[in-house]
Amino acid sequence: MAMQQITILGSTGSIGVSSLDVIARHPDQFRVFALTGHSRIEVLAEQCQRFVPAFAVVPNAEAASQLSALVPAQTRVLCGVEGLIEVASHSDTDTVVAAIVGAAGLLPTIAAAEAGKKILLANKEALVMAGALFLDAVKRGGATLLPLDSEHNAIFQCLPPGFTGVSGAGLSGSGLSGTGVSKLVLSASGGPFRTTPIEQLMTVSPDQACAHPNWSMGRKISVDSATMMNKGLELIEACWLFNVAAADVEIVIHPQSIVHSLVEYVDGSVLAQLGNPDMRTPIAHALAWPERIASGVARLNLTELAALEFEPPDAVRFPALTLARQAGESMGDAPTALNAANEVAVAAFLTEQIRFPRIAAVVAEVMAGWQGSELACLEAVQDSDSRARRLAQASVAGYQDEV
Ligand SMILES: NC(=O)c1ccc[n+]([C@@H]2O[C@H](COP(=O)([O-])OP(=O)(O)OC[C@H]3O[C@@H](n4cnc5c(N)ncnc54)[C@H](OP(=O)(O)O)[C@@H]3O)[C@@H](O)[C@H]2O)c1
């Protein structure tokens, strides 16, 4: 394997830290080219001292001067979205780990696609909010898009060789015909509230929502897992990545998070990818693809496993799933609105402005009145995103007196 120069967008987060852990195990194969952070400047400084990247990126000039005093002389500090775009598309980097959370990751990830990079995509929100434009950029730039989300990475591993999708064919009805694949099955843990009495959900705290039973993740995705909006976003992500319709993707709850997802074939075979719930496995898979490297993840001991359980998701407990499926069926800018409304609602819950069940209620209100349109350009994405955020803020305001 040739030496890869790697940019990590969002290196201070959960995926970023796991990526650096895998990279550090293979100094002969990977070199860190650029690291980026947002609020955790000290963590970014420590990462720069350890990996000595050519660039580090922070949100603004103030953070840049703070970081500059803490990093090695070889590391140039940039700031803002322009800095993120510069390191994502720089001619000296070949691999970009897209691990910024939420809509903020869109522009640098698109820049990496247009520049023809190998993109390891964790930032599912970017694909959800601008799927067609994102995949156009991948095709135009000749980029390679590999899924880091454990479920999509599992499906990628179980699909037949040469399956079209990862290089971005886009959504056009069902991409399954003629492939021998009959269905994709996304597994979901069900999050921390899978069995909590529904009436108690009005009083759960942000910390309880972020206490995921199997995975250690950032707070936004942890809340998304608790509402199962995460699985809804993943459904839309799967449609774009694998060129399938929403109806081709089934969601099944699997509380142990050992079976990461499955592919069903027309002959009745079902292929699954199993492993301990640790993001270093999909990260190592995508970093080395099509080869394999060690990830540091503990081996799965089948004889020590308890029973593996599967159950259908409860639509009453998890209304976000239905909202996401509807957005995935209508496409256009419906997923953009869904994602934006969800980001506003999750932020409001995490700052204790609204109760947990109101996250889905806010998204439902925005989607109920949403006049869908097609997304011809990135400005249209930004317009739909801003409009949905304004509607979601108004909806949040209506629930604030409950807190
Ligand atoms: N964690 C997982 O296991 C997992 C699994 C699958 C997919 N994903 C996806 O991966 C992405 C990252 O998740 P995570 O759990 O790693 O989140 P996280 O721990 O919250 O990390 C988010 C990263 O994005 C940076 N960031 C936040 N806001 C930003 C902004 N406005 N501009 C630029 N950078 C910003 C953060 O910087 P600071 O920390 O310095 O503020 C941090 O580096 C999400 O899209 C998530 O859905 C995560």
Domain final position from 319, 350, 375: 319
Q: Note down the domain range covering 347.
A: 332-403
Q: Which atom of ligand 1 is nearest to the CA of 40?
A: 40
CA-CA distance, 403 to 401, in Å (whole number)? 5
Which residues have a Cβ under 8 Å from the Cβ of 276 and sit 6 or more positions away?
A: 258, 297, 298, 299, 300
Tell whether 123 and 263 lie within a shared domain. no
pLDDT digits 0-9 by tens, 309-330: 999 999 999 999 999 999 999 8
pLDDT at 331: 86
383 is a domain residue: yes
Ligand 1 atom 15: residue of nearest CA: 218
Tell whether 342 and 213 lie within a shared domain. no
Residues 142-168: what's their mean pLDDT? 83
Tell whether 139 and 225 lie within a shared domain. no
CA-CA distance, 370 to 395, in Å (whole number)? 13
Tell whether 246 and 354 lie within a shared domain. no
Tell whether 239 and 132 lie within a shared domain. no
Residue 101 CB–ligand 1 contact under 6 Å: yes
pLDDT digits 0-9 by tens, 17-39: 999 999 999 999 999 999 999 99
Tokens of 202: 């009005």
Mean pLDDT for all residues in the chain: 94
Residues 169-180: what's their mean pLDDT? 63
Buried b (16+ CB within 10 A) or exposed e, 315-327: eebbbbbbbbbeb
280 is a domain residue: no
Tell whether 168 and 308 lie within a shared domain. yes
28 is a domain residue: yes
Q: Mean pLDDT highest for which of 161-165, 209-213, 266-270?
A: 266-270
Residue 98 CB–ligand 1 contact under 6 Å: no
CB atoms within 10 A of CB 292: 9
pLDDT at 77: 98
216 is a domain residue: yes
Domain final position from 319, 354, 377: 319
pLDDT at 170: 39
281 is a domain residue: no
pLDDT at 243: 87
Ligand 1 atom 2: residue of nearest CA: 217
Tell whether 359 and 386 lie within a shared domain. yes
Phi and psi (nearest 5°) for 36?
A: -135, 145
pLDDT at 120: 97
Tell whether 80 and 34 lie within a shared domain. yes
Residue 215 CB–ligand 1 contact under 6 Å: yes
390 is a domain residue: yes
pLDDT tier, 171 (very low <50, low <70, confident <90, very high otherwise):
very low
52 is a domain residue: yes
Residues 46-62: what's their mean pLDDT? 98
Tell whether 41 and 113 lie within a shared domain. yes
CA-CA distance, 332 to 345, in Å (whole number)? 22
288 is a domain residue: no
> What percent of the chain stands above pLDDT 90?
89
Q: What is the CATH number of the domain that holds 92?
A: 3.40.50.720
pLDDT tier, 164 (very low <50, low <70, confident <90, very high otherwise):
low
Structural domains in the chain (count): 3
**Which of 320, 317, 319, 357 lies closest to 338, judged by CA?**
320
Domain final position from 118, 148, 178: 148
Tell whether 310 and 199 lie within a shared domain. yes
Distance (Å) from CA 96 to ligand 1 centroid: 14
Tell whether 112 and 197 lie within a shared domain. no
Beta bridge partners of 261: 186, 273
Tell whether 210 and 358 lie within a shared domain. no
